[in-house]
Every structure is written in C-alpha cells, then in structure tokens.
Amino acid sequence: MTEPWWKRASVYQVYPRSFRDLNADGTGDLRGVIHELPYIAALAVDAIWLSPFYTSPQNDSGYDVADPRSVDPVYGTLDDARELIDQAHFRGLRVLVDVVPNHTSSHRDWFQEALAAGPGSAAREKYHFLDGRGPDGDEPPNNWMSMFGGSAWTRVTEPDGRPGQWYLHLFDSTQPDLNYANPHVHLDALETLRFWLDMGADGFRVDVALGLAKDPAYPDVDDPEGLILALRMDLDDGSPQAMERRRRVSNSAFLDRDELQDIYREWRQLLDSYPGDRMAVAEAWVPPERAARYVAPDTLHQIFNFDFMAAPWDAERVRDVIQTTLEQLEIAGAPPTWALSNHDTPRVVTRLGGGDCGRRRARAMALIAHCLPGSIYVYQGEELGLADADLPDESRRDPVWFRTLGAQKGRDGARVPLPWHDHEPPYGFFDPGGEHEASLWLPPPPDWAAFSVAAQSLDAASTLGQYRAMHRLRHTHPGLFDLDNVSWPETEPGVFAVRRGCGFSCVVNFTDDEVVSPIQGYVITASDAGVRLERTVVTLPPDTGAWIQS
Ligand code: NOJ
C-alpha cells in the first residue's frame, strides 16, 4: 500500500488577496490563482493551501467569514473555486482549504438573528452571550482578553434599545466565537467540511484549532494578558522562557481544552468516509507535549510546528526543537510539519535579521526545513526571498493595528502582494490599464523588482532556483527524506549537521566564521554561491548551508 500523500508533502500557502489579481481591482482573486497554477506546479510542490476566500466583510482579511460555503465576490465565484480545484488536480496538485470553525463574522446571518432574537433565545445559544457583571451588567462577564488586544467581550444593544448582554470574541469584535456546546454549531461545521470535500478539496487547514472549546463556567483566568502573550508569535524568540509562558495555554479556560478532541474525532470520521486520503492540519500553537493530542490516529492528521517557526538563529536551539518535535510526534505516530513563516508571522528573512544577512540565513534555514521528515509548508513569497514590507501607517489594514491603537504594527508587512514581473509597482500583480484598475490593497516596496518571479526564474542560484531544486529532489529522491532516518553527527559549536537517508546530509554554518563541513561529499544544492567544494571537502561561509551527498 502506498503512503498517504500528506505524510511527506510540500505544501505551498496561497494567500489569495496577495497572490495574483486577474481583474486588476487591486486585490488578488481565484482566477489569478488559476492563472498562476503553472508557476506553482513548476515549484514542484505537492499541494496548495488556500487561505480563506469565502464571503466576508474582510475585517480580518477573510478570517471573518459571513458564509463559509460561498465565495466572496472580491475573489470570484463558486465556479471559479470549482475550476481552481479541478485545474490544480489536473496539474497534480492537491488542494487544502482553510476552515474557520472558531468564529464567524458578525455579518453572518446567525449572528444577526442572535442580535435580533434577544437574551435567552435559541439563536443566542450558537454563540457565547452572557450577562455582564456589576449592578447594571456593564462590566464584561469575565477577564478574558482578545488575541488582538482589549477585552474579549463586547456589549450589544438589545432590540428594545437598552444596553444588554455581552458576546465573546477571542479575536476582533467582528468575529464572535461559536459555541460548540450547541449541536447546531457542530452540524454546521460538518456541513461546511462536506461542502468542500464534495467539491474535491483534499483537506483542510483548521484555523484556531486550539480554541473551539470553552470552559462552560467562564471563569476568570490568572494573568489574562500573560495568556494572550503566550500566543504572540512575534514575541516568541524560541527561548525557554517563551516556552514556559506558552505552557499556560495547556488545557486552559478557552484554549487547548481536552474536550476539543471530541470535535475532531467527528471530523476524522467524516474525512475517512471520503475516498482519496483527505486530511486536516491543525493551527494550534500548543506546547510540544500537547501536540500529539491533535494528531492521534482518530483525530486530525497534522499540526503546525510553531516552535520550529520561532526557532532563533542558533544551531543548538534549532537541533533541540527538531529533536523535541520528532520525539513528541513519534508518540502519536504522526508525521511532523515544518514551516519558516506564514501570513501571521514576520517573513523569515526579516525574523532572522533582515537585509542580505537575513536572506542568507533564511535560505540556509530553508535547507534544514526541507530535508526533515514529514511535510513542509511554504508561505507564498518565501521562495522569492521577500522580506516584510515597511508600510506607512495609513495603509495598515490589520485589526491588530486598530485594536491596539497602533501599539502593535500587526501582520500587514508580511501580506503585501507578490511581485511577478516589471520594474515598478504593481510588479505584474495585475496588468495595468484594466477597466477596474485600482491601487494595490497594500503598497509594495520600491525595491522589489529584483525579487520578482521573472527576475529569478532563469537564475538557478536565486532563492527561487533553490526552492525549485529542493522540492524537485524531494520528488526524485524520496529515499533521502525517509521518516525514520535521522541522526546527528558530532559538530563544532554553531555548526548544524543532520544525516538523513542514503548518505544524504544537511550542514549549516550558524557561526560568524567560515567552517569546513564535518561531513564530506558532493554538494547537491547550496544556499549561497560562496559555498565551496574542493574534491569532497565542503567549505561554508557564515550563514550558509548545503545538502551533501556522501
Ligand atoms: C489565525 C489566522 O491565521 C489569522 O490570520 C486570523 O487572524 C486568526 N486565526 C483569526 O481567525
């Protein structure tokens, strides 16, 4: 029997708003993704993950869903979605869609009905509506905080015009949390899954997979701000202190609760009832010892590995994170996942120092991420070596920026539309001169021409060339990447080396000095043109790495 495809997949994350804009209205669309499927296929990845494209007021760039079984007109139509899935399949690409089960948009009919129906109604039971504290109920029901800043509760005005109950929103106030104690909510989530599975989706990325269950007693938590800080990816430097902070998430009042897995068991049964290895990957930033719960044989298939994403530029720490991940997931028998960035984090070039140094490090880290057992997730633009854009404040769109009154810049810098070609904005993101032409939803930096797809396509030594080479090798030499084949040769401090199958290794120099690789052999691919090979001796300048065949 062949292994399910997802056990060792390269998955490319498409953030549709910023991928490619075929109707030239300044925002990416599904027809843009269809148009560029040849580009994705040429990257030699196995699958795409599409961030949300459902009907939404776009207060959180589509993670505020008003109708989970429809397509927002800004992205296209249901027929476009169907065509995208079919065409991707035709090109040998699987398709994961993003489901957002924790909350809806406040524009969803359910929430509007709940507002109109008033306290005690069945409509309110689908969300978390509670009376406030204090003599007039004018204080929030408890001290839970929103991940985007401020209280997690907003008070409504009742149909009779009086100030009334409060509803829970772990994110923006336009994203009310659903109540999974209500059977309608369960059934609706399953219906959404069925809808996309029937359309041919190969699986799901599960948004906020750690948040669906809440303590029905709604208790105050100790240090509410500390709990929220535990999930701030921009603050996680991979340190033991950051890990300790994150342990607070484990089975807490509204995160990572044990009973979540009952929900995922239902989902797993549904996924298993479809042919063709359908799967789901959890967005759950939990401590390593909690990860296995999400990927037990009867729950979901994969969980994102945020520890690896947060790992600093430090050979020993990177190795520790990898070892811990492998140990923890072995318990569940689940394949690990690796990613260097996504649409919520700073881009990896920026995180590892920015500029040329950050770019060199990012390319070296990519060699590590792509040689490990399990699946790799690549965020669009990472293969181009893009850094975060430095945006003028007036163009920011992230609710984090607004809810923290500018104290946190938010995630827009990592979401700027991709540069395809041309020497100036919009860099081929759309073709200028169209009927609906508008400005880009986020402005790109003036110096992105050198990073465009066209500028790198013919250059095998470019970041794009490196990504294509890595993904191709994962296909042509699957034996090199075997699940069980990981060993750790002795190295000097600051030098990372891992041996994989069939005499294949990855070596990265994290130090500030040139080093001779502890492993000799032929260089299959390198992160930098400065890597040298004399006979079989590999020399690595600072911040570089190589895949070596011995
Ligand atoms: C995680 C998503 O990746 C992020 O973009 C979004 O803001 C929150 N979940 C809320 O849906």
Q: State the distance from the centre of ligand 1 to the C-alpha of 170, rounded, in angstroms.
A: 10
Would you say residue 463 lies in a domain?
Answer: no
Distances 441 to 26, 65, 195, 376 between C-alpha atoms, Å: 6, 19, 30, 29
Say yes or no: 523 and 497 in one domain.
yes
320/504 Cα distance (integer angstroms)? 20
Say yes or no: 201 and 275 in one domain.
yes
Number of domains the chain contains: 3
Would you say residue 465 lies in a domain?
Answer: no
CATH number at residue 525: 2.60.40.1180
Say yes or no: 411 and 522 in one domain.
no
Residue of the nearest CA to atom 2 in ligand 1?
Answer: 207
- The pair phi, psi for residue 107, each rounded to 5°, is -85, -10
Would you say residue 410 lies in a domain?
Answer: yes
From first CA to last CA, the distance across the chain in angstroms is 31
Say yes or no: 324 and 436 in one domain.
yes
Q: Which atom of ligand 1 is nearest to the CA of 411?
A: 5
Q: Where are the alpha helices (DSSP H) in 130-276?
A: 183-198, 224-229, 240-246, 260-272
Mark whether 394 is an active-site residue: no
DSSP notation for 101-135: -SB--TTSHHHHHHHHH-TT-HHHHTB-EEPPBST
Residue of the nearest CA to atom 10 in ligand 1?
Answer: 63
344 lines ligand 1 (CB under 6 A): yes
Q: Of 400, 435, 456, which residue is a domain's last?
A: 456
Say yes or no: 398 and 448 in one domain.
yes
63 lines ligand 1 (CB under 6 A): yes
Q: Which of 60, 97, 169 to mutate to test the pocket of ligand 1 (most atoms within 8 A of CB)?
A: 60
Segment holding 532, helix H or strand E: strand 532-534
- The pair phi, psi for residue 155, each rounded to 5°, is -90, 140
Q: State the distance from the centre of ligand 1 to the C-alpha of 315, rounded, in angstroms.
A: 30
Say yes or no: 209 and 291 in one domain.
yes
Report the candidate in 110, 199, 120 with the shortest Cα–Cα distance to residue 158.
Answer: 120
CATH number at residue 162: 3.90.400.10
CATH number at residue 432: 3.20.20.80
Say yes or no: 192 and 147 in one domain.
no
Say yes or no: 268 and 339 in one domain.
yes
Structure tokens at 191: 């219906």
Q: Which of 18, 106, 108, 207 to mutate to test the pocket of ligand 1 (most atoms within 8 A of CB)?
A: 207
Q: How many residues does the chain have?
A: 550
What pLDDT, on a 0 to 100 scale, did the predictor assign at position 37? Answer: 98
Residue of the nearest CA to atom 5 in ligand 1?
Answer: 344
Low-confidence spans in the chain with pLDDT less than 70: 1, 434-437
Say yes or no: 263 and 149 in one domain.
no
- Domain containing 395 equals 5-101+184-456
Q: State the distance from the centre of ligand 1 to the C-alpha of 36, rounded, in angstroms.
A: 25
What pTM, to 2 d.p., does this model score?
0.97
Q: State the distance from the centre of ligand 1 to the C-alpha of 290, rounded, in angstroms.
A: 20
What pLDDT, on a 0 to 100 scale, did the predictor assign at position 230? Answer: 87
8/375 Cα distance (integer angstroms)? 5
Q: What is the largest CA-CA distance in the chain?
A: 83
Q: State the distance from the centre of ligand 1 to the C-alpha of 414, rounded, in angstroms.
A: 14
Q: State the distance from the centre of ligand 1 to the C-alpha of 550, rounded, in angstroms.
A: 43
60 lines ligand 1 (CB under 6 A): yes
18/104 Cα distance (integer angstroms)? 22
CB-CB contact of 264 with 302 (8 Å): no
The residue annotated as part of the active site, out of 283, 307, 344, 383, is: 283
38/348 Cα distance (integer angstroms)? 25
Would you say residue 173 lies in a domain?
Answer: no
Would you say residue 71 lies in a domain?
Answer: yes
Would you say residue 474 lies in a domain?
Answer: no
Amino acid of residue 307: D
Burial tier of 67 (Cβ tally within 10 Å: 0-12, 13-18, 19+): middle
Mark whether 207 is an active-site residue: yes
What pLDDT, on a 0 to 100 scale, did the predictor assign at position 435? Answer: 56
469/475 Cα distance (integer angstroms)? 10
Would you say residue 472 lies in a domain?
Answer: no
100 lines ligand 1 (CB under 6 A): yes
207 lines ligand 1 (CB under 6 A): yes
Say yes or no: 264 and 146 in one domain.
no
The CA dihedral of 520, 522, 525, 531, to the nearest 10 degrees, is 60
Say yes or no: 287 and 411 in one domain.
yes
What pLDDT, on a 0 to 100 scale, did the predictor assign at position 309? Answer: 95
What pLDDT, on a 0 to 100 scale, did the predictor assign at position 232? Answer: 83
Distances 351 to 283, 285, 313, 376, 389 between C-alpha atoms, Å: 20, 18, 9, 18, 12
Q: State the distance from the centre of ligand 1 to the C-alpha of 48, rounded, in angstroms.
A: 18
Say yes or no: 283 and 329 in one domain.
yes
Would you say residue 177 lies in a domain?
Answer: no
208 lines ligand 1 (CB under 6 A): yes
Q: Of 413, 439, 456, which residue is a domain's last?
A: 456
64 lines ligand 1 (CB under 6 A): no
CB-CB contact of 500 with 506 (8 Å): yes
Q: What is the pLDDT of residues 468-520, one digit of tens each?
A: 999 999 999 888 888 889 999 999 999 999 999 899 999 999 999 999 999 99
